[in-house]
Chains A and B, each alone.
Chain A
Amino acid sequence: MPKFVVRIEDTGEQYACADGRSVLVGMEALGKKGIPVGCRQGGCGVCKVQVLEGEFTRRVMSRAHVSAEEERSGCVLSCRIYPSSDLRIRVVGAMKKNVCRPALPTGTPSVEPA
């Protein structure tokens, strides 16, 4: 069973993502942290990441959170991508749509500490 190493650049955390698990679920399964966890099903957009390096396969994800252009540039929901090589990623999602913390204006860089 191939296991590819995923490195989260924001925190320096890295883990071996088991075959068949998404980048997000692979992280959670090992008790690791770094990418915010939402629905794990491509719908809510919370776990959005930029893949800086590496190959992956993907499943359908919500266009409300990842535009076709973003997807082409490696901006994806980590719950919907499966590593096919080691990956380096950066978190761009984060829990910003909170009732206590109003949503950032469109276009505001959304990199936040995890």
Chain B
Amino acid sequence: MSMTGVLRPGHAQIRVLDLEESVKGYTDVMGLKPMGRDSQGRAYLKTRAERDHNSVILRQADHAGMDFFGFKVLDKATLDNLEKKLQAYGVATERVPAGDLLETGERVRFKIPTGHTIELYAEKTAVGSGVGCTNPDMDVIDQPGITPIRLDHCLIYGDDLDGARDLFVNVLGFTLVERVKLEDGKTDLAGWLTCRAKAHDIAIVRHSEKDKMHHVSFQLGTWEQVLRAADIMSKNRVSLDIGPTRHAITNGTTIYFFEPSGNRLETFSGGYDHYPDMEPITWTWDEVGAGIFYHDRKLNDAFLSVVT
């Protein structure tokens, strides 16, 4: 478990309705760095602090949502090994050739039981962060955009939550950190999972349709930066969903908002460390409102129903 398998979320490919408008939103408002376009016209971006070439890929499409979410693994041997494990578990895998995504090696692609496409890859060109690796200065935010630290996690909605959770735990070495139970006290409504020692690297909510995206999340350093993000959003007339507020689940301070094609993004700070020896935290149905929005203590309709 000491960081030898799946390392971290690495990239998300998001469908957008108007590519140029979206690139502007992700750069000017979010403060991500444009990293080029490929022959298919996809736009690549990364945060300033991320070292690998890209973390967000935008693809023009006629409907919003997420094409796939990718995790970086330690090395090529790990990639081969995890692919064998997936196949042994009965999961069909596909190899996407190196270079299909800019500056990215071969990817192992598969569908999880909620219908989402997940990828694993071992190689993405390390272009470095803004401050480098030798005697680095603090990266003082000196640009108008939100400028998050990293792509941190995603929350997906789909039908077979149990199957998807078990795949992440049994095959990919994730740990269940928190869960919400439905009214029956048995069935999971939601689960938060980590591949290392975070509060979450991916979360899954049970939902009637397959392959829906709830949000892709970016980490900020402090609550003060969450407030700064909210100011930047209002100044730029960004469509706000909820916040700034706090999740009791994961302890994150948060803003949910919608990017120019209606895909929900989150900027958050906080969280805690979770190790595999720890018992998962359980939320009962009657307290799920407080679990998700700790100050309001109630669910809003949009949290459960607005997805792309």
> Judging by beta carbons under 8 Å apart, are B65 and A38 in contact?
no
Which of B31-39, B164-172, B256-264 participates in binding chain A?
B256-264
Q: Which of A44, A99, A102, A103 is close to B262, meaning CB atoms less than 8 Å apart? A: A44
* Residues in chain B near residue A62, CB distance under 8 A: 17, 62-64, 261-262, 308
Q: Which of A37, A60, A64, A100 is close to B304, meaning CB atoms less than 8 Å apart? A: A100
A residues 36-51 touching B (CB-CB < 8 Å): 36-44, 46
Q: Which of B17, B241, B305, B307 is close to A61, meaning CB atoms less than 8 Å apart? A: B17
Confirm or deny: B273 has a beta carbon within 8 angstroms of a beta carbon on chain A. Answer: no
A residues 8-45 touching B (CB-CB < 8 Å): 36-44
* Smallest CB separation, A110 vs chain B (Å): 13
- Number of B residues near A (Cβ < 8 Å) is 29
> Judging by beta carbons under 8 Å apart, are A63 and B62 in contact?
yes
* Residues in chain B near residue A43, CB distance under 8 A: 17, 63-65, 258, 261-263, 308
* Smallest CB separation, A66 vs chain B (Å): 10
* Residues in chain B near residue A59, CB distance under 8 A: 18
* Residues in chain A near residue B18, CB distance under 8 A: 59-60
* Smallest CB separation, B61 vs chain A (Å): 9
Q: 5 closest Cβ contacts across the A-B interface?
A: A43-B262, A39-B262, A43-B64, A41-B262, A64-B63
Could you list 18 further interchain pairs (A-B, Cβ under 8 angstroms) beyond the known A39-B258, A97-B209?
Answer: A38-B302, A38-B305, A39-B239, A39-B306, A40-B262, A41-B262, A43-B262, A43-B263, A44-B64, A46-B302, A46-B306, A60-B17, A62-B308, A65-B63, A99-B205, A100-B304, A102-B208, A103-B208
